[in-house]
Structure 1
Amino acid sequence: MLTMLLMPILPALAQATAAESGPGLVAQIQGALVNALAWVDSLGLIAPIAFIGLYVIVTVAFIPASVVTLGAGVVFGVVKGSLYVFIGAMLGATAAFLVGRYVARDWVSKKVASNEKFKVIDEAIAREGRKIIFLIRLSPAFPFNLLNYALGLTKVSLKDYVLGTTGIIPGTIMYVYLGSLAGNLATLGTGETPSNPTITWTIRIVAFIATVAVTVYVTRIARQALQASVPDVTDDNGEAMSA
């Protein structure tokens, strides 16, 4: 349900990049990211700072960050790589959220101004934002980069948004670990993602559970918000009854 409710704004936000996307462009972007990671790897002590900066840019620019996340495992290892990805993702997600709320809000709001479903989900997130966003972040079914901007339109507080976004931690660790199995950046450039059956199935199971949980939870909250918004009317005997 959440995907359906957010659909009115996702195409609008993605329009600029989707128009030019294609297999060739994707390959070029992946190649550029691998080259950027190689450059980061050569920086020595300041490599972590450069990597975090790269991750922020990728997140804000709607660029899929999977190659960068995997690359963190190659360049820094699982522990440090997970930490740097988490910091970069949190900073990038927060920046995109603020842009969506304060800079591009008017433009994006026009896309959903007449959509009653979005108003309902907005109210639901305002009431239970932290929990809902946490579940969303656990599930890859919801696009990370686009939602950063979309959630800026909702009534969720910055604090709850940031706390909810910590739900990326399990997926971050798993993908960085998969990257560490590659051994070198050249492997990432071929488009062949290293795999581990146990980790892969763990990711799928966690993603499935999170997707089901967020769908059920948001449906319940949205229904409660909708019922609460329906005014009582009075019957012929003067007794109140729900519409």
Structure 2
Amino acid sequence: MRRRLERVLLLLGLLALPLVLLRLPAVRNALVSLVGYMREAGAAGALLFLGVEVLALAITTPLWVMSGLAGYAYGFSKGMMIAWPAVTLGVCLCFLFGRASIGKLLSMRAGEAHFWRAVERAVRADGFKITFLLRVTFAFPQNIGTYMLSATPLSLREFAAGSFLGLLPATLFHVYVGASVESAAALLSGEAKAPGSLGWITLVLGFVVTLGALVVTSRIARRSLDKALAAPSQAAEP
């Protein structure tokens, strides 16, 4: 019981760290300045965005933060062209970092958890499918999932392909929201203002449709994931 409590507290701490950092004025101001530089510096701004993205994902910052900033900085179309490959590359680098630094520790911990053992068995059977389903599952903590998968035998190729396709729905949603707000500060604080009556109606309808599609996709993926995780253990039974 004590070990479980320690793990839960550690997990909560990892998830809370970036949210606490986002409450700091210095961090918010730095991200707002990043948006200004991205708009003015062209390719150099996109490269800086990628570097910050990797750092943000490494400390388990929610995916919506950087993808939303890309949408705000470049608009929906260009923001999507930058955010989607950037978040994929970011999670791949975190995957490699996790495997090189804390993979063994996570692997030992994973061996004590039924869910993680099921993930490892399923990954051996079909790594691409499991990665894809985990990515499409909306409520799953994606950055924790990256480190979790780094402790399995999953190949980088399967991880990259599954992440690239699986992160598409959520990235579309995050970039859309970012492209719809009036300021980066509003995006980071959640205090966006309505863009007029017609703009507000359009924004709400688009938000509802996009979120609804994401939720439906997530539920389908979750059911498929449950079956995939159960299948290896069932197959192992005599």
Partners in 2 of 1:199 and 1:176 — Cα distance? 12
Q: Does 1:214 pair with 2:221?
A: yes
Instruction: Give the match for residue 66 of structure 2.
Output: 68
Q: Work out whether residues 53 and 88 of structure 1, in 8 Å CA contact, stay in contact via their aligned partners in 2.
A: no
Root mean square deviation, CA, Å: 2.8
Instruction: Give the match for residue 54 of structure 1.
Output: 52
Q: Which one-letter code corresponds to 1:99 in the other structure?
A: F
Q: Which one-letter code corresponds to 1:175 in the other structure?
A: H
Q: Work out whether residues 136 and 221 of structure 2, in 8 Å CA contact, stay in contact via their aligned partners in 1.
A: no
Q: Does 1:27 pair with 2:8?
A: no
Number of aligned pairs?
A: 223
Q: Which one-letter code corresponds to 1:107 in the other structure?
A: L
**Larger helix proportion, structure 1 or 2?**
2
Q: Work out whether residues 103 and 151 of structure 2, in 8 Å CA contact, stay in contact via their aligned partners in 1.
A: yes
Q: 1:43 to 1:116 in 2, by over 3 A?
A: same
Q: Work out whether residues 31 and 189 of structure 1, in 8 Å CA contact, stay in contact via their aligned partners in 2.
A: no
**1:123 CA displacement:** 0.8
Deviations 1:167-193 (A, max 9, x none): 212322232122222244343354324
**1:212 CA displacement:** 2.2
TM-score normalised over the length of structure 1? 0.78
Partners in 1 of 2:65 and 2:115 — Cα distance? 34
Q: Which one-letter code corresponds to 1:150 in the other structure?
A: M
Q: 1:213 to 1:125 in 2, by over 3 A?
A: farther
Partners in 2 of 1:208 and 1:22 — Cα distance? 23
Partners in 2 of 1:21 and 1:63 — Cα distance? 5
Q: Which one-letter code corresponds to 1:198 in the other structure?
A: L
The counterpart of 1:96, out of the listed 94, 111, 116, is 94
Q: Work out whether residues 133 and 225 of structure 2, in 8 Å CA contact, stay in contact via their aligned partners in 1.
A: no
Partners in 2 of 1:198 and 1:30 — Cα distance? 29
Q: Which has the larger radius of gyration?
A: 1
Deviations 1:74-113 (A, max 9, x none): 2212222111111221111001111222321122223222
Q: Which one-letter code corresponds to 2:155 in the other structure?
A: S
Instruction: Give the match for residue 5 of structure 1.
Output: none
Instruction: Give the match for residue 200 of structure 1.
Output: 207
Q: Which one-letter code corresponds to 1:209 in the other structure?
A: V
Q: 1:160 to 1:193 in 2, by over 3 A?
A: farther
Q: 1:222 to 1:157 in 2, by over 3 A?
A: same
Q: 1:10 to 1:33 in 2, by over 3 A?
A: farther
The counterpart of 2:122, out of the listed 117, 121, 124, is 124
Q: Work out whether residues 181 and 187 of structure 2, in 8 Å CA contact, stay in contact via their aligned partners in 1.
A: yes
Instruction: Give the match for residue 153 of structure 2.
Output: 155
Partners in 2 of 1:215 and 1:188 — Cα distance? 29
Q: 1:11 to 1:121 in 2, by over 3 A?
A: farther
Instruction: Give the match for residue 197 of structure 2.
Output: none
Instruction: Give the match for residue 173 of structure 1.
Output: 172
Q: Which one-letter code corresponds to 2:184 in the other structure?
A: L
List aligned pairs for 1:77-96, cutoff 5 A.
Answer: 77-96=75-94
Partners in 2 of 1:21 and 1:55 — Cα distance? 12
Q: Which one-letter code corresponds to 1:170 in the other structure?
A: P
Q: Work out whether residues 55 and 85 of structure 1, in 8 Å CA contact, stay in contact via their aligned partners in 2.
A: no
| Structure 1 unaligned blocks of 5 or more | 1-7, 232-243
TM-score normalised over the length of structure 2? 0.79
